[in-house]
Amino acid sequence: MDAEESRSAIAYRQIAGYIDNVADGARLPPEADFAEMFGLSRASIREALARLRAEGIVRSRKGSGTFAMRSGAPEMVRLSAISSVRELAQWHEVRLALESEVAALAADRRTDEDLARLEAAQEALLASLLTGRGEREDVAFHAALAVCAHNPKLSDALGRLTSHIFSWGNLSAQRSVLTMAERRELIALEHGAIVAAVAARDGDRARAEMRRHLLAGRTRVLSDLQM
């Protein structure tokens, strides 16, 4: 089910959960206690705390202790590093939410020029899949769709999120269970359905097709990871 989560990731999750049930500014248990609590070494605890420190969730003072900083109210949503399959799945759900809305808005608001650019992006993607993995062209397709939605905030957030998720996949082993031909056919089909819905200005259908596309992609990725 869950591909082995690293020990420091376990520590991170546990400590984050601990902080959720604690007052703002409260002092956390010593690292040694956390280590004993979770059955991990102090090194793993420190690894997790280093991440929490970097995220502003926690603050450590030498000789004094580590303190929860829940009111660290950053004015932005941070894309913290993805360190487990679980986190990848969570970000993927955020992407699904944004991208399906983008598809619907794109169908409602697209101009004819928008549609032309979208179709061009789709053709470029299919062409590049004959020779390479077409990863960049896939991103370009989704970017072209985002433009159609005419909502800069939404497309900006989605763009950063997508590249964040892709950067994880870049460094992980790219061993797909699909052949290039199968992959190309699937993308042609799924993207094609989205383009058709956008062309028909059918927002609900565009949303549904995008959901199908992303959910299918998630299934493919997860089955790859379980090989």
- Which residues lie near DNA (CB under 7 A)? 6-9, 28, 30-33, 40-44, 46-47, 49, 60-66, 173
Task: Answer yes or no whether residue 50 interacts with a copy of itself by CB under 8 A.
Answer: yes
Contacts of 87 (CB under 8 A, 6+ apart): 9
DSSP characters over 183-196? HHHHHHHHHHHHHH
Q: Which does 65 bind (CB under 5 to 8 A by kind): a copy of itself, DNA, none?
A: DNA
Judged by beta carbon, residue 51 or residue 142, the one nearer a copy of itself is: 51
**H or E stretch at 59:** strand 58-61
End-to-end CA distance of the chain: 12
* Alpha-carbon span 158 to 92, nearest angstrom: 11
Q: Which does 138 bind (CB under 5 to 8 A by kind): DNA, a copy of itself, none?
A: none
Task: Answer yes or no whether residue 41 interacts with a copy of itself by CB under 8 A.
Answer: no
**H or E stretch at 54:** helix 42-54
Residues at the contact surface with a copy of itself, assessed by CB under 8 A: 16, 46-47, 50-51, 53-56, 59, 61, 67, 69, 71-81, 87, 90-91, 93-94, 96-98, 100-102, 105, 151-154, 156-157, 160-161, 163-164, 167, 171
